[in-house]
Amino acid sequence: MGGKKNKNKAENTDIQQTLEASRRDFLKKAGISGAAVLSGAAAVLAGYRHEKSKNKGEFVKVLTTDNKLVKIAAEEVEGYEPGLKELQKRGREGIPGKKWVMIIDLSKCRNARKCIEACQSAHHLRPYEYHINTLVMQESVNTPAYFMPKPCQHCDNPPCVSVCPVDATFKRQDGVVLIDNERCIGCRFCIAACPYSARMFHWEEPVNAQADKDKEYDIELNVPQKKGTISKCLFSSDRLRENQLPYCVSACPNGVYYFGDENEDAVTNGTTKETVKLSELLKQNGGYRLMPELGTQPRVYYLPPKNRIFDFDQDKPREEDLII
């Protein structure tokens, strides 16, 4: 009796287990198919959106060599000048897959100021309006003085972006911090917030205002500059889009700058055009960043001014030379 009961019980358990198993199986299958349906739907939706956004982009009509008029996506045409809408869109998105990084070797800088000149001529600035400036630094009386080029640090945690009330200054996916002078209201909160004094303001009509009047505004070059708005270092985003090194980097005669992509772990020296491993360069030379205690996470690294290849005291400007 007892055995039968037990057997029954066992059978019941078996059945229960089978039921349980099949239910679990069903749920699993339902789950999988549900997920499949969902992801399928998501894929379709994403595709739809992609197609739709493609349609939104600019198209141009071009004449082929066999005299056919065809319509193709504007960005695929060579020599095509994108309109403001396109410039703003791609300028705010950045270059996918890149993480730009700059290394400044302080042991090589002798204050030639060629980087500054190149930058100012590219961005239409006056001699005292800086995206990048070279400073004479001395931490304390017993430590040696040195020259320090100082562009925008393109922080990964940028205080300027946090405080901007209108999203005029922003961080792109490729790490660059830009300023949209079509949006800037000129409150200068970002100047107050930046610990590196990296930003400038157009207090008066910019130097090339008349000549640039009819140019389309390129957010990656910040030209034409506009009165009453902020301007700043852009890591020469317009050059990066064309696979070129930034203006300052290419202009340096002393091999101070390396520039490249953190994702590739490779940086190129602007003077020698030599490409080296980013991690190795930083490791072997004791690379560091400015004011790490502020938590701003700059994308500009410095190599310490040791074993300098020139005599600082000879090149050092006098106190009064530091004023224009």
- Tell me which long-range contacts 205-214 makes (C-beta under 8 A, separation of at least 24): 206/124, 206/125, 207/124, 207/125, 207/126, 207/129, 208/124, 212/124
Task: Decide whether 115 or 281 has the Cβ nearer to another protein.
Answer: 115
Nearer to another protein among residue 89 and residue 183 (C-beta): 183
Query: Which two three-digit tokens encode residue 249?
Result: 């980097």
Among 62, 74, 191, 266, binds another protein (CB under 8 A): 191
289 DSSP 8-state letter:
-
Structure-token pair, residue 32: 């999988």
249 in Cβ contact with 257 (< 8 Å):
yes
d(CA 235, CA 106): 19
Nearest to 176 by CA among 125, 119, 229, 101: 101
Contacts by 69-77 with C-beta closer than 8 Å and gap 24+? none
Residues 36-65 that bind another protein (CB under 8 A): none
Q: Which is nearer to another protein, 43 or 166 (CB)?
A: 166
DSSP state of 97: T
85 binds another protein (CB under 8 A): no
Taking CB under 8 A as the rule, does residue 197 contact another protein?
A: yes
Could you tell me the smallest distance in angstroms from the CB atom of residue 150 to another protein?
A: 6
The footprint of another protein on residues 208-247 (CB under 8 A) is 227-229
DSSP string over 114-163? HHHHHHHHHHT--TT--SSEEEEE-SSTTSPPEEEEE-----SS-HHHHH
**Residue count, binding to another protein (CB under 8 A):** 44
Torsion sign across C-alpha atoms 281, 283, 284, 285: positive
Query: Footprint of another protein on residues 152-171 (CB under 8 A)?
Result: 159, 162-168
Q: Measure the CA–CA gap between 165 and 170, rounded to whole angstroms.
A: 11
Of the candidate residues 25, 93, 204, 280, the single one contacting another protein (CB under 8 A): 204
Nearer to another protein, 14 or 167 (CB): 167
141 makes contact with another protein (CB under 8 A): no
Footprint of another protein on residues 299-318 (CB under 8 A)? none
By beta-carbon proximity to another protein, the closer residue of 23 and 227 is 227
Pick one of 90, 92, 171, 183: the residue that binds another protein (CB under 8 A).
183
Q: For another protein, which stretch binds (CB under 8 A), given 18-26, 28-36, 95-103, 200-208? A: 200-208
Among 19, 46, 72, 135, binds another protein (CB under 8 A): 135
Copy the structure tokens of residue 286: 């004791």
Contact 139/284 with Cβ under 8 angstroms?
A: no
**106 touches another protein by CB under 8 A:** no
Interface residue list for another protein (CB under 8 A): 128, 130, 133-137, 150, 159, 162-168, 183-189, 191-193, 195-197, 199-205, 227-229, 291, 294, 322-324
